[in-house]
Amino acid sequence: MDSALAIADNGGTMPWTLADHLLADNWLIHARVNAPKSKRPKDHPRREDRNKAIRARRASRKVGTYERAKARNKALLAKRAHNN
């Protein structure tokens, strides 16, 4: 959890431990019970931010993968056209 690789992969902060996730779940239960119905939180704010960052990172990786596949397919088609 405290390795440089784990911290770099988590956007520069130490990843949450199991205890951190359990405490966030506990916080969420109490926040939902004690908050008025119109202002109930969806999740712990820090966990929401973390999940947004993870989704953004995954989306950018998907775009990169798509672009590489597109270039590879274009090169294959050009090679096939050249061979015919």
Question: pLDDT tens digits for 44-53?
Answer: 777 788 788 8
Q: What is the model's pLDDT at position 39?
A: 80
Length of the chain (residues)? 84
Measured CA to CA in angstroms, residue 57 lies from 10, 13, 26, 62, 66 at distances of 10, 15, 28, 9, 14
Q: What's the pTM value of the predicted model, to 2 decimals? A: 0.45
Which of residues 39 and 63 earns the better pLDDT score? 63
Which residue has better confidence, 12 or 70? 70
Asked whether the predicted pLDDT for residue 73 surpasses 90, the reply is: yes
